Amino acid sequence: MGNSRQEPAGNSSDFASTFPRARKALESAVYDLVLNGWEESRRRRAYDMAVALTRAAKLAGWRDSEGLLRPLCCLLDLSLPQVDSIRQEVGNKLMELLTLLKKQPASRSA
């Protein structure tokens, strides 16, 4: 009888070493989006990066980071017409989520 619990396909230690760089790249893409207008190509780039990082966090078992990245993805999925009247508030929330993400330890959450 083997262990029925499957380990994630990704290697958590590999993720721990690449997460800070990936987070910084996402942060840069979000800052670019917020500071330079909600241009579609900038929004799509930040959104795609956030989705990829969310999936990687999930595979690595980093639940706290994944939990912060999911709402970030939702906000980045908003189009310009959807966000136009609340752009400042959305930008503030994105910055808040990125700040919290920065404070996450570079390890799995329990």
pLDDT value of residue 95: 96
pLDDT value of residue 16: 83
pLDDT value of residue 25: 97
Give the predicted TM-score (pTM) of the model. Answer: 0.82
Question: Six-digit token pair at 36?
Answer: 């330079």
User: For 75-96, what is each residue's pLDDT tens digit?
Assistant: 999 999 999 999 999 999 999 9
The residue written with tokens 């993400």 in the block is 101
Q: Which sequence spans correspond to the domains of the chain?
A: 12-102
Q: Which residue type does 94 have?
A: L
Residues 6+ apart with CB under 8 A from 36: 42
Please identify every stretch of the chain with a pLDDT value under 70, giving residue numbers as ranges: 1-13, 106-110
